[in-house]
């Protein structure tokens, strides 16, 4: 998301899963199509502002062609 220039993504750690500045919420219709968060990502999400059950760190979401059209919302505030 950072490399693509998505507005609101700070990505202070550069994708290292050591901050929560790429916090996004995935649309629930994509549940089950993505690998869930790792323990490290889940721990970092506990520091995110107002996390939801669909919160993820954009730097940790592994995408493929089957995710074309994926919808997400960038968190209003980043850690």
CATH number, domain of 44, equals: 3.10.20.30
pLDDT tens-digit readout, 60-74:
999 889 999 998 999
User: Residue 56: which domain range?
Assistant: 1-79
| Alpha-carbon Rg for the chain in angstroms | 11
Q: Mark the ranges of the chain whose per-residue pLDDT is less than 70.
A: 1-4, 79
Residues 21 and 12: beta-carbon distance below 8 Å: yes
Q: Per the structure, how many domains does the chain have? A: 1
Q: pTM for the full model? A: 0.83
């Amino acid at each position: 998301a950072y490399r693509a220039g998505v507005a609101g993504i700070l990505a202070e750690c550069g994708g290292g899963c050591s901050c929560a500045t790429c916090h996004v919420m995935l649309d629930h219709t994509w549940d089950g199509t993505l690998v869930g968060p790792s323990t490290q990502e889940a721990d970092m999400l506990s520091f995110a502002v107002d996390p939801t059950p669909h919160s993820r760190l954009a730097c940790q979401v592994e995408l493929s062609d089957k995710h074309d059209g994926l919808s997400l919302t960038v968190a209003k505030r980043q850690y």
